[in-house]
Amino acid sequence: MTAEIEEVTEEMLQKELRLKQILTGYGRLAIAYSGGVDSTYLSDVAHEALGSAATMILADSPSIPRSEVAAATNLASVRGWNLRIIFTNEFANERYLKNDGQRCYFCKSELFDRMRTYSEENAVPVLGYGAIVDDTLDPTRLGAKAASERSVVAPLQEADLSKAEIRQLSRRRGLPTWNKASFACLASRLPVGTRVSVESISKIEEAEEALKRLGFRQYRARHHGDLCRIEIDPADFGKLTDPQLRTDLVNQITAAGYRFVTLDLAGYRTGSTALPPRT
């Protein structure tokens, strides 16, 4: 997790005020909402600033776990947001399935194109998403390219808000996502060059649900054919000394369709399926 800030500062409150002003200036807005830390915070502030003129668009596809869709839908209902669920079809795009390093670009392009269709049908002039200041330091964020090409705005970046600040401001708002672990679509668990399929995505989802059920918070189930390489927070390595938990985990992951289950001693880290082999 990003380094935490102990309390909400006046500077952070001023940034949130600036964010409200930015959102109010749009008049009507549709936001790409995933249920993650950033898009949830953006959605909550947008709802406060614009009411029903802010629409939260939740994309549903095989690459999103059912539990994530359910949690995001429930949260939107509890907060009283104007939620719309759309179904994206990236699995019909050979360029996405090819998974050659540009997968995220084609995925986000599909999302933003579907959102554009919604906006044109409902007279919503502005589309937005939850990119933050931290993302400008990561050149691998191909979603930013897709967003720029389609004039999708990033209000959190414009307000100069970081992940650590958003977590604390979310906590102040009573959002349950304030300390949520980072998440990326299930296709990111496949090594670059390994073709994406609904079957592999389903196996990954079942493996990660097992990790979740057994109490792990930050995890990835990396897919390598019939081998599942588990990444967890090194602080949780000790849990696996429990023979019963370890047996349950292996049984549940093999039940998902894997033959072998391994623990990556490097621990959880983003983008490890795109990293070169260690020497």
pLDDT tens, 143-201?
A: 899 999 999 999 999 999 999 999 999 999 999 999 999 888 999 999 999 999 999 99
Residue ranges per structural domain of the chain: 10-179, 197-268
Within this chain, domains 10-179 and 197-268 share the same CATH topology: no
Mean of all residue pLDDT scores within the chain: 93
Q: What is the pTM of this model?
A: 0.91
Mean pLDDT, to the nearest integer, of 198-210?
Answer: 98
Pairing relation of β-strands 260-263 and 82-87?
unpaired
Mean pLDDT, to the nearest integer, of 130-141?
Answer: 81
- CATH number at 10-179: 3.40.50.620
Type and span of the H or E element at 198: helix 198-213
Nearest CA among 188, 217, 191, 221 for reference residue 204:
221
Kindly indicate whether the domain formed by 197-268 is annotated with CATH number 1.20.120: no
> How does pLDDT run across 103-112, given as a tens digit for each residue?
999 999 999 9
The span from the first CA to the last CA of the chain, in angstroms, equals 27
**Is the C-alpha dihedral spanning 85, 70, 202, 204 positive or negative?**
positive
CA–CA separation, 221 and 210 (whole Å): 10
Q: Give the dihedral of Cα atoms 215, 221, 227, 229; nearest 10 deg.
A: -80
Nearest CA among 145, 144, 142 for reference residue 274:
142
Q: What integer pLDDT is reported at residue 271 of this predicted model?
A: 63
